[in-house]
Amino acid sequence: MREILAKRLRECRKSMGYTQMQVAIYCDITEKAYQNYELMTREPKIEILVRIADLYKVSLDYLCGRTDEK
In this structure, are residues 6 and 38 in contact, taking their beta carbons and an 8 Å threshold? Answer: yes
- What is the per-residue pLDDT for 1? 76
**Nearest CA-CA partner of 18 in 51, 65, 67:** 51
Task: Write the DSSP string, the chain.
Answer: -HHHHHHHHHHHHHHHT--HHHHHHHHTS-HHHHHHHHTTS----HHHHHHHHHHHT--HHHHHTS-S--
Query: What's the pTM?
Result: 0.91
* The CATH number of domain 2-64 is 1.10.260.40: yes
pLDDT over 80 (residue 65): yes
In this structure, are residues 33 and 43 in contact, taking their beta carbons and an 8 Å threshold? Answer: no
| 1-38 tens-digit pLDDT | 789 999 999 999 999 999 999 999 999 999 999 999 99
- What is the per-residue pLDDT for 2? 82
Ordered by start, the domain boundaries in the chain are 2-64
